Structure 1
Amino acid sequence: MPARQAFAQRLRARAPMIGTFVKLRDPAVIEMLGGAGFDFVVIDAEHAPFDRENIACAILAARAANVAALVRIPEADGHWISTALDCGAAGIMVPQVRHATMAELLVQRVRYRGGMRGFSPSTAAAGYGARGIAEHLEAQDKETVLICQIEDSSAVAAAADIAAMDGVDGLLVGPVDLAVSQGSTNPAAPEIVAMGVEVMNAARTAGVSGGMFVSDASAISRWSGCGGTLFVLGTDQSFLLQSAKAGLASARQAIT
C-alpha cells in the first residue's frame, strides 16, 4: 500500500505516529528520515524556501523512501494546495487556522467532489495517467488528509468547531506560536499547556487526531496522556545541529 494511503488510514484511526519537519531542500534528507523509520515528514514551505520544484523533488524522495509527506503550505490558497497534492503529498497542513469558516474553505480546496480543486489525471499523484480519471477521482479524497494548525487563542476557542468540520482530519498545536500570541516566550508555561489540553480534548471529542509539535521527545508522554496521537518531533535542522554539537564536543574531549 502506498505510504499516503496507509498514513490516511492510520491518522483517521487515531493511531500514534511520529514525524518531523523538513526545512532542508536536499531530497536526500527525506530519504534518510524515511530510512530512519519516521511515520511521516512535513515539508515546511511556510518557514523554509520551498518552491513548486522543490516540493515536487521532496515528495518524489518521500515516495522513493515510502514515507508519507505532508506539506505545510505558506498561504491557505488553492495554488499551494494543488501543487502539493498533485505532486503526491499525503496531505496538507495549514498554519493559523482560526475558525470553522476557514476550515470549511480549506476542505473545499483540498477535495475534488463537493470541493473546488482543479482536476488532472496526469499528475504524479495519479501515476502520470496510469490511474485513469475515475480511479483517481475516487481514490484521492480518501487518501488525502487535512490538518489544521491551532496557533492562537481565537483558534483554541474555535477548536471544537474546526475539529467537527467534515473533512478535517486532525488538529496540530503550535505551542511556540501559541506562546508568542499570548505575549510569552515560554511554550511550556501553564496557560499555554492548558490551551494545548483544550485542543486535544476538542480533537478527541470530534474523533479526529490531536497533534502536537515537540522539541523534546520526553514531552510526548504528557500529550499522549491527554489523547494526542500525532507528534511532530523537532526538525531536520535541529537533528543535524544537535548531532554536530555532540560529535564536536566528544571530539574536543578526546584531544590529549
Structure 2
Amino acid sequence: MSFRLTPTFRDRLAEAPRPLAGIWVCSASPLVAEIVAGSGTDWVLIDQEHSPNGLESTLAQLQAIAAYPATPVVRVPVGDVVAIKQVLDLGAQNLLVPMVSSAAQAEELVRAVRYPPRGVRGVGSALARSARWNRVDDYLLDADRHVSLFVQIENAAGVAAAAEIAAVDGVDGVFVGPSDLAASLGVLGQQTHPDVTAAVLRAFEAVRAAGKPVGVNAFDPDVARSYLDAGASFVLVGADVALLARGAEALAARFGAGPGEGERVSY
C-alpha cells in the first residue's frame, strides 16, 4: 500500500497566484481547528509556543485539519532537536521555529529536520505518522521533499541578520513577529510603532532579496494590507481565541446592559 502526502507550505507558496492568509489556532481544540480549517482560510498555524498544546493535542488538530484544503503549520515552542523530531513524527510537514537570530542558528534547525548524513533527525518512520507507518514510498530517502521549514525573526539581531538567515539552504521562508520585535526595540506592546514597522520592512527587503517568501503576523486589516502591499507572501490575520474573545465581548456589550439600557431581545 502506498500513501501520497499533501504538498508542503513551501509548495503552496510557490504555486499560489496571491498571498496566503492564515488563522492562528491557540485553543488546543481539534474541534476549533476543524472549524477554522473549514472556513476557507489558506493555512492554519497550530501553536505550541504560547498555547496549551502538547503532542497529543497537536496530533489531534493535524488529523482534524487533514480533511480540508487548508495547510497546517506547527510552531514548535523552541528550536530543540528532540521537540522538532517529535512534531515531525506526528506528521507535521510544515514547521515554524520561533526566535531565530542568526544564520548559524538557522543552519542547526535545517540539520534538525533532515536525516543523516545531511542532518541529525532521529529515524523512526516505521513507527510514526510522518511516513504513515512506512506507507509513503521511500520516505527516508525523500523526506526533504515532504518537510518545509520556516523560521521566525522576532528581535533586532534577527532583523540585522535577516539576509544571512534567509540565504541558508533549507530555510524555506521567514516569518516576522512584530510583538516580540516591539519588545526588543523597547516599545513593548506597540506593534505598529514606526520603529517596529521600519524593522519589519527591512526584514522583508532582506528576505525577498534572498529569493525567499516572507510573512508576518498582522491582526489589524489595514496593517495586514499594508504588509501585503510591501511584499508579504503569507500573513496571519487572526486567532481563534481572539476572534472568540472579541465576538463574545461585542455580544455582551450589545445585549448585556441593564433593563432599559440595552437593545431588547425577542425570541
Q: Secondary structure at the match of 1:128?
A: coil
* 1:119 aligned partner: 123
Deviations 1:114-137 (A, max 9, x none): 1111123332121222124x2x12
Q: Secondary structure of the residue that 2:164 maps to in structure 1?
A: helix
CA displacement 1:54-109 (0-9 Å, x = unmatched): 11112111213343211111121112111211112131111110000000000010
- Residue 158 of structure 2 corresponds to 155
- Residues 4, 249 of structure 1: alpha-carbon distance in 2 compared, 3 angstrom cutoff: farther
Secondary structure of the residue aligned to 1:211 is strand
- 1:236 is the counterpart of 2:240: yes
1:255 aligns with 2:242: no
- TM-score by length of structure 1 reads 0.92
Task: Determine helix, strand or coil for the equivalent of 1:24.
Answer: coil
Contact 2:153 2:175 in 1 (8 A): yes
Unaligned runs of 5+ in 2: 257-261
Amino acid at match of 1:68: T
Distance 1:2 1:248 in 2: 47
In structure 2, the partner of 1:11 is 13
Q: Partner letter of residue 86 of structure 2?
A: T
Give the fraction of aligned pairs with identical amino acids, expressed as a percent: 34
Contact 1:173 1:212 survives alignment (8 Å): yes
Q: Aligned AA for 1:51?
A: G
Letter in 2 for 1:9: D
**Counterpart mapping for 1:217-232 below 5 A:** 217-232=221-236
- Alignment length, in residue pairs? 254
- Structure 2 counterparts to residues 164-243 of structure 1, below 5 A: 164-185=167-188, 186-243=190-247
Moved more, 155-164 or 37-46: 37-46
Please identify which structure carries the higher helix content: 1
1:22-54 CA distances to partner (integer Å, 9 max, x unpaired)?
A: 111110111101110111111111111211111
How many angstroms apart in 2 are the aligned matches of 1:59 and 1:49?
15
Q: Which amino acid in the other structure matches residue 7 of structure 2?
A: Q
* Residue in 2 that maps onto 1:72: 75
Gaps of 5+ in 1: none
> Cα RMSD (Å) of the superposition?
2.0
Query: For residues 254 and 184 of structure 1, what CA distance do their matches in structure 2 show?
Result: 40
1:82 aligns with 85
Partner in structure 1 of residue 53 of structure 2: 50
The answer to whether the 8 Å contact 1:30/1:65 transfers is no
